[in-house]
Structure 1
Amino acid sequence: MSTCSATQNLHPSLVMSKRRKFVIAVLFCMSAVAVIAFLAHRQDPEPAYAGHPLSFWVEILGRRSPPWGDTQGATNAIAHIGPASLPLLLKWIQHEPAQWRDKLAAPLKRLPYEWTHWLSACIAQERSEQLAIGTYEAFHILGTRATPALEDLSRLMNATNATATSARATENLGCLGTNALAALLAVIQDPRHPRQWQAVAAVGSMPDMGDAAKLSVPAIIACIGNTNDETLSLMAVNVIGRLRAAPDLSVPALVCCLQSTNAIIRISSAEAIAAFGTQATSAIPALTNMLTDPDPELRDCAAKTLHEIAPSTFTNVPPPHHID
């Protein structure tokens, strides 16, 4: 009896010991996070707008679910702060997510306490992720005013060992307009570069390219025929349609894609041809053949495109209809 009693008496102390260790570990982590945040704040004083630091506004832009916050205020803030925001944007873009952080944070997030949720978010670097995502909107707002970041963004784009950073840098280069065209075309023309399709997308996102659009067409057309990477091929087709440049080169390349075994690429090619309007009449024979395709969506897309590029000639083509 005495032995059993002694054993039972040990349990509360053992439990308390484990709890103390857990509390000490949590407090240590919280202290470490607080110290790191404090030092980071001291090292990188932020420009501010309307009483809030730059990170406050960029974090709003990076949120992917409601409530988003004052997005108009964030837009005004980035526009007001201007190129002075670039050093911090270039820092925040370099966040690389780590699986071990998510695994460590998950148990804390399940506990019903606000402080454990806060600690979980700190460990998982949720705020860093939001800031990294928000940099795209910030660069988009700045537009060509962000050109001083061209060299750094190009370097980060080509640092492909940092996957997330490289992808974000490629995407953000498109916000700089034609100033970034040479850097993006160099990636598009390199079949070994893992950011090829993102570079094509970045060129397609550029506003008001003017004559520079024609310079992009040959490199993007070369990506269309990449049968080993259908994501790249599909992106190239869509961007050619957005650019609507050099129809003498673009339309024949898109007509070739109408023969693809991938139905999505065929539909996207027909839609891209439609964007060229009456400049795409050389595609009429191939589109006419599509009117007898067994796929009703392809037939409908071909009819719609024919009405766009030759409305007076193809009055007898059945008008396109909505497919549920």
Structure 2
Amino acid sequence: MPAITGAVRNETLPVQPQAVQNTAKPADLQETYKERHLGDLGISVKYNPAIPERQVDSSLAAVSVHRMVNDKLGMTTNALHNVVEGGKDAVLSAKAPFLTNASPAQETAGTHKSVAASPADIANLPDGSYLQTQGRWLDASTVQVPAPGNVFGASGLFASAETSLDIPLVTPISPNRDDIAAAFGVKIFDEGQTVPLKFDGNLNAVEYEFGKAYPQYRLDVANGFFIETHDFPHVFMPASEQSEIVITVGAQLEEDQFALTNFLVPHGSGILVPGNTIHADAFSSGSIIALLTHCTEADVVLMHQPDDSPLPIKIDTSERLGLAEWHV
């Protein structure tokens, strides 16, 4: 196209007012959350309005729980923050919605199965970084133990040869933390990092609250401490700086020999627990973000002493954690 040239007259034109569109996001995304009352549980749960309503209904129906003991809060569901689509990875954030679908540029080459346990490496870990214990894992098809708190249905039994367990706590400043995690087949991710998942189905980023009465609930109502394994992965992370997220991870060394350790997950980080990993989250307190799918089959076992009473579990004895022991 030929250039157009000509004399230009200098002229001051009146400035027209322009409509300004406010595109600033709220400081806290949760300020925009909606709320859904769950009549069967008698609670109201917040949810991210970016999640389609139909998805909200099915997710909340599948993952919501509310546990009380002697009129005190054991555990409840606070919010549905996001849904990570099947086949995708997730990007971790310290703020809501905490776990988001990775963009094509953020995707990794791996899956949750890429983080594999190395039981042979556990023996080479530093002393005091894990507990080796003896017991028989009897799934629910072999032995069924009453477990009112099990969302997966029937529970089996971990028949311990011990009368108590003292499971070490691995913290962010523990030497060889990442080596310990790798040996147990888990991995800790930080703010902005992509967590490899690529699970077959959707995964819900749900916020649960563990009340101060949760240990009492596990002992008085739910028949003790549990460990479990299933085919879908978890990501666990604190929802706030005030929360103490402690994740128990285990590995089977021999037929009746198991290794157990605990990881303290700091705010701004998350721990990936791949599918088919022995784990539990019951030592946590405060608000926890848990990535999980709709309730499917799981191998859950309650840990009992030789006399079939709940097995006392102890971890870090510091007062800051307030998690010295379940009972004596």
The TM-score with structure 2 as length reference comes to: 0.23
Higher strand share: 2
Higher helix share: 1
The TM-score with structure 1 as length reference comes to: 0.24
The higher relative CO (CA closer than 8 Å, separation ≥ 6) is in 2
